[in-house]
Structures are given as C-alpha cells and as structure tokens.
Structure 1
C-alpha cells in the first residue's frame, strides 16, 4: 500500500515532481530545531496549486500522511517527518504574481522567501513590515503557517495582520480561500485566519495576498540604557504617546543577555560605556527625514532629562543602526558559544514581564547556580525569549529546564508559544496555555477538515 501511493504520485505528477530518498543528496529535510526527524518516504515538489491538489487527493485516497515544508527555519519541529510520511515542499512555488500599487497589495506563492518579498516591496516604493532573523531562508507559507511575529509587531502586528487573502488546498485536494484584495470581508467564517497559525495541520497554503504599507522615508534608531524594569515600561509608554510617528521596534535586553553576547562575540561593540541593568533598542519610522530625526532626538533628550533613560547612543548613520541591531540579532551566533542551550519563546501581559523574568531567573539559579540565563525580547507585544545554558550539561537538562520555564508561564497565565508555534516541542505544555474545551474545539476543527488525519500528524496535539 505504501509503495502504491508513491507509484500513483509518480504516475500523476512525474519524476520531476516526485523525488525518492536515494535522490535527495545533501538536501535538508529537518528544521532548525535540532529535534529528531526522519527521512521522508518521498519528496513532492509541486510547481502550482493544481499539482498540490493532485498530490493531496492521491495521498488522502491512500491515507498517506503528509508534512508540508517551507524554508525549514522553524524551532519547534513542526516541519519534521516523524514516521513514514511524505514531505511536500513548496520551494518551486516561489513567484511574485502581482504587485498592485493602488490597492497596496502583493500576490505571492507560498514558497517565496520573506526577503524576496521585502525587496520587491521596496522596489515598488512600498514596504512589507514583517521581519525575522531568518528572512533570507524562511518562506511566506511558513510565516503564515506559524503566524510569525518578529521585530515590528508593536507597530504593524503579526503575520495575520499582513494578509488579505489566502488560497489553500485541503487534505481532500479541494482548493479553498480566495486571493482577494479587500480589507473588509465579513462574508461568513474567516478561513484565512483559521489556516494562519495552523502549522500545516488543516491545509496547505499555496498563495496569499499580502498587505503592503507606505515606505518609510525616515528611520530613527537609538540604544538606550535604563536603571530598572519600571523605567523600561515607562519609556515604552512615553514613546508610544510622545513620538508622533509611533514606535516601530522596542527591543528590550536584560544585562545577562547583553553581557554574554558582548563577551563572546568580539565583532560586537558596546554602544554605551557603562554597564546597566536594562537596554532598549528603540526605533521609530516616519515620513519626513529632517523633522522625524529632530523630533526623535528631542524625545530622547526628554527621557534622559527625566532620568527614565540613564544613557543613550543615537544612530547617526545606517551603519550605526546596523551595529545596534547586530547586538539584538546575536542569537544567530549562539552555536559559537552555547551550542547546547535551551531556548524559550513565551508571551505575557507587558505589566507581568518583569516579574516573570525575575522569577524564571531565580528558579533557574536555585537549581543550577552556574547557569547562563539570557532574557530579551519584543516588549511592545509582551514576547520575551529566555535562553538557558548549564555549562557542561549538554542537552541532558532540557526537560527539567522546560518544566521551570513553563511552570512560571502557567502561573502568570502566559502563552507557551508567542511566535514559533507548538510543533512537537511544546505539545506536552499546550494545556498550560489552552483549556480542555479549547483543545476539544481545535480537535473538532481538525477532524472536520482532515478526517483521515493525514496533514502533519503528531503536531500541536
């Protein structure tokens, strides 16, 4: 039976679309999480939605499980093959179909890399605001499947806020959704928002209409040093109220993170001379370069005068801003100095984040006094990242560290996943965030759209 489905796929789609394991070569087939993943029974690389629909009809008929794969930059094992599954890669569906400057939209295929979308928007004198460290590898389909967030959620929202229409193929092979350009569409259930964030368990997203924004004409960036967490939240409050153009990024870093990355990555330079308990990378975008820069500098001066900010460095060039962002983007260099770290992506009410961070730090150090604990994140949306490394322990303590962090998450009624999804990594902790009734409702939706359970089995639940 298993050989029959591969044969049927080959007959329907051809060897150019269906690749067998012995032909994979060095192709990556697992995500960045480091979690276990098996080699798929075959790799299907369709060129269009019709071929995706054909593949899904055949797989559904044979009850063949399918895992959809994008750029494989996920961190929770959501795109990994667990058993005798097929992999469905959308890497060939990587075209920008249309840019409509009047509507402010871009229609793209799901395999299009995020960076390609960003650059195409800029070429059209528009702006696609979603931004992630994996921008060069991650794809729009993966961004949609995980409802990606990133650095500028505070101003523009999550991935679901950047999308007007979605086309997807269900497990049955039926095509649903529409590539419309309407902001307002209240015609029944919103299948778009049901599919976004579903981690490939409800359908295969094939195309989307993305919402573009006016291109910023001015970017002002500052590195701020602060004396306390209350000063951090006060700065956020003042920036949102006092900067006419608003805040486009508000990245907070605890001293433990800042000290660790500067100590281990010599290419980074300290923006301020002294050491402080907290640091914020503050960014605001606007339309008038002269007036925006002046207003931003005046605002920063008021914050220093009020002693909300203890010290600050203002970016006077793009290279200065990039140097600030290099400190915040240092997690990409973790393999150089903490290759066996445990990483967490959690979210809370902004008012609770300071207490959460302190409680996590205390509990971790009670168990492992020598632990390296680094905390940082997108405070404007309540999302923090906690990274823990116990020297000499390798990955043997990851399960115990998980329990510490997720126990605190449950105590503060937070979310065990702010950006990356549940995948396999966080399945055991889903109940910390969602009620039994929530999970039952999600299972009911899954059963209705995928009654044979072939789409990304073993993920989320």
Structure 2
C-alpha cells in the first residue's frame, strides 16, 4: 500500500466514504478556478460537513506530509485554489448556512461554505445589509472571500472584506482549531490573530466559520453618470461629493476606451452620453438627491463635469450600470489578459498614461481598456490578446505593467489575491525583508508546508504565461 492509499483510507474512516471522492467522480469544476489556469484532477476531493471533520482531515494529511488545497466557490482570478494532480482538495461547500443573526450587535454568524448571495439575502430579511458585493455573488463562498480579502464596488464606503470580519473559526495545518469568533468592534486582547488568515489564501489555515458586520439598509439611492475632462477632475469631483453628500456607495471610473466598448455591447441602445469624452464616472449615492444635484451644479461651474445624466428610474439606473458591468462579457468577446492593481489615488491617471504609452510603443495596435473603483485606489486594465502578435507575449506584458506599478509605489494585487499567477511579481510591491517575514509566518503556522503549497510565496511551479 502506498502512502496516498493509506492516507485516503484514514480519511475515509474519519470523514466517511461519501466525503472522500477520487478519480473520475471528481467534478471538473474542482480542476481550476475562473482563470482556467493549469487545470488538474486532484488526487482526492474531501467534502467535510463539520469543523471537527476539517480538523481530522488536516491532522491526517499533516502527519503524512500530504498537500491540501482549500476550495470555495472557485470564482478566483489568481489561481489561488488551483490544485496539482498530487494534491488533495478540501472543499468547504458542505459547511454551509446561517448560524445566527444578532440584531443588537448587528452581526451575522455563518459557515464558510455559505454563498455571498445567501448572506446578503439573510441580512436584508433581517433589516440590514451585508455590504460586500461582487459579480460572483451567487457562486462565491464567504470563506473564499475572506481568504482572498475580496473587494468589490462598495469598498469606498464599507471597506474590504477585512473590515467586515469581526471573528473567525480557523483550523490550522496540524488540526488545531482556533476559536477567534467575536461580536465586538472593540477587542484589544493581544495579537489580532484573525488578521493573519484574512487574505492569506488558505496558506496559513482554513476558515470554517465567520462572524461578520452588518450595516443599516441605506435609503433611496441616486445613480449619476458624468463625463469628465481629465483624471484630476475625477478626484476633485469625488472629494466635492464626499464633503457635501457623504461617501458614495460606488464611484466607478471608465476611460473612453472602456466606455465605448461597454456601450457598443448594449446592442441598439442609444449611448446615455456622447462617446467622445476622455473619462466617465458612474456613481451611486444614498445621500440627499438635492445636495447631489447642487454639488453637480458646482462641478459644472468648476469645469470638473462636462455632461451628466441622473437616472430617473431604477430601470435607467440598471441601464447605466450595464455599461460598467461589460466586464462580465470579457471572456466571451475577448481573449482578456486582466490586471487588478492599486496605486495612490493621485497617481492613477499618470499610471494609465505611462502604461498606455509603453504598451503602444512595444505592441502598436494593441487593444487595452482601463476602468476601476478609483475611490479606493483600485484600477483594472484589460488587454485583448487577439490584438497582439501571436503567440501573445503574456509574460512580457505582465512585466511591463507590474514594473510600472512598482515604480509608482502601487500594489500588484488590489482585490484578487496573489495565488499562483502573481507570485513572481510580488517583489514589485513587497520588499525582501517583508517577504522573509511572510515566509517565517508560513513556517510558523504550517511547518510541513501542506497548506496550499506554491501560492502567494511561489514555492510551487512558476507560471510561464498563458493567455487567460
């Protein structure tokens, strides 16, 4: 009997035969995430139902030195949940459900396999909102959102996932269970250990339960699309609105190339504004509409806004949002190479011009689009690989973009994590001393290196550049 067979027998005894899946019985959705990067059928798929079963599984695998890859909804965009053929996958999909909503504390306690949409709906039913929101809300699981410190459109007002987590239950590589659940905003009892696991992509421990902050339901919202003359106007308009109306629910900037693309994909619908402006901002505000209109009038007077349309109905608001949500069609209409970066807000405009110029110089005729949630420093850039020489020079483009990010003191990952696909570029944003401490932290929590090996710190195979 080989070591893997022995390990699988132990896992069957601990979890039950129906919780240990092998071979052709493993669904292909466990082979890779939304990137489609390096799909592989893992050695086994574990489907535990309880924290105790997760603990038993990790304890067995740790003793055997067997690598374990945690998986949630598989909606990741950095390869953070992609297994190798020799890995065992541990899926959290059966650890699902709402445990409790505490109206007094304004918290919701959930299992890690619960989808984001389920949590949002439960919060609404209780008179609150859970403000984290992503396009993958119906598929992504809160455990994965926590593991990647997911962002989304509402970060400018409510913060990242990290800001919405009050407590966690986490299973360590050796099977120990850390009960870090907490309903209090103020809790200064030493090291805040939960922060070690938020954004760690399953490399330090596996999140099994979470206590999350809820927010009051906002009042009626106003949706406004503005045309702007330049990037500086986008920043000054944001600050003007924050001063007079309050921080918006969303503040989405679209450069002309993205706006034209999004409008063209609407079919025969007439564009809400001329396609000839340099920049467009789509904002959503729960503040006073009268104050918003007054701020808009001031912005026109100051030359910050050249044209605007204020949605007069929910249907019109949804139509405006469809332009920004054109990203959902990227995989079917393009061969996209996507970048998720952040930079100091004042430098985002400079970065776009620098990046565009360098791409045009190296690959004349390339098609790239720029957009992002700039109020929280996040910029997205997508290059259509069809517009490039073939085979597409993926690695060269990544080096160009991430080098420019590093030059301006930015981050190579704003909200999608590092996973496998950004390991070799992490040094552009994290210095050697900090990287060394990250490795020490990994060695402390997972001395045998069984948890999601190769992710973040790049101790696995190097990504060589395939269009995704």
Partners of 1:61 and 1:112 in 2: how far apart? 29
Tell me what 1:179 maps to: 181
1:423 aligns with 2:419: yes
**Which of 7, 11, 19 in structure 2 is aligned with 1:9?**
11
User: 1:341 offset after TM fit, Å?
Assistant: 1.7
Alignment of 1:90-129 (within 5 A): 90-129=92-131
User: 1:145 offset after TM fit, Å?
Assistant: 0.4
Tell me what 2:396 maps to: 400
Tell me what 1:36 maps to: 38
User: 1:394 offset after TM fit, Å?
Assistant: 5.7
TM (normalized to structure 2)? 0.94
Q: Tell me, what secondary structure is at the counterpart of 1:78?
A: coil
1:389 aligns with 2:384: yes
Partners of 1:415 and 1:250 in 2: how far apart? 20
Is the 2:256–2:275 contact (alpha carbons within 8 Å) kept by the matching residues of 1? Answer: no
Tell me what 2:281 maps to: 280
User: 1:22 offset after TM fit, Å?
Assistant: 2.1
User: 1:134 offset after TM fit, Å?
Assistant: 1.0
Q: 1:395 to 1:39 in 2, by over 3 A?
A: farther
1:46 aligns with 2:48: yes
Partners of 2:268 and 2:167 in 1: how far apart? 42
Q: Tell me, what secondary structure is at the counterpart of 1:217?
A: coil
Tell me what 2:465 maps to: none
**Which of 360, 365, 383 in structure 1 is aligned with 2:360?**
365
Tell me what 1:250 maps to: 251
Partners of 2:275 and 2:362 in 1: how far apart? 30
Partners of 1:268 and 1:427 in 2: how far apart? 42
Deviations 1:123-162 (A, max 9, x none): 1110111111111111100110010111011111100100
Q: 1:246 to 1:264 in 2, by over 3 A?
A: closer
Partners of 2:111 and 2:182 in 1: how far apart? 14
Tell me what 1:74 maps to: 76
1:314 aligns with 2:310: yes
Unmatched segments (≥5 aa) in structure 1: 287-291
User: 1:265 offset after TM fit, Å?
Assistant: 4.4
Tell me what 1:453 maps to: 449
Deviations 1:170-214 (A, max 9, x none): 000000132220111111111111100000000000010000011
1:259 aligns with 2:254: no
Q: Tell me, what secondary structure is at the counterpart of 2:221?
A: strand
Is the 1:264–1:337 contact (alpha carbons within 8 Å) kept by the matching residues of 2? Answer: no
Q: Tell me, what secondary structure is at the counterpart of 2:179?
A: strand
Q: 1:188 to 1:293 in 2, by over 3 A?
A: same
* Aligned CA-pair RMSD: 1.4
Aligned length: 454
User: 1:407 offset after TM fit, Å?
Assistant: 1.1
Tell me what 1:222 maps to: 224
1:355 aligns with 2:355: no
Is the 1:95–1:109 contact (alpha carbons within 8 Å) kept by the matching residues of 2? Answer: yes
Is the 1:218–1:293 contact (alpha carbons within 8 Å) kept by the matching residues of 2? Answer: no
Q: 1:24 to 1:150 in 2, by over 3 A?
A: same
User: 1:305 offset after TM fit, Å?
Assistant: 3.0
**Which of 156, 162, 167 in structure 1 is aligned with 2:158?**
156
Q: Tell me, what secondary structure is at the counterpart of 2:17?
A: coil
Alignment of 1:285-304 (within 5 A): 285-286=286-287, 292-304=288-300
User: 1:397 offset after TM fit, Å?
Assistant: 1.4
User: 1:261 offset after TM fit, Å?
Assistant: 2.5
Q: 1:268 to 1:411 in 2, by over 3 A?
A: farther
User: 1:302 offset after TM fit, Å?
Assistant: 2.3
Tell me what 1:289 maps to: none
Q: 1:53 to 1:283 in 2, by over 3 A?
A: same
Partners of 1:345 and 1:380 in 2: how far apart? 15
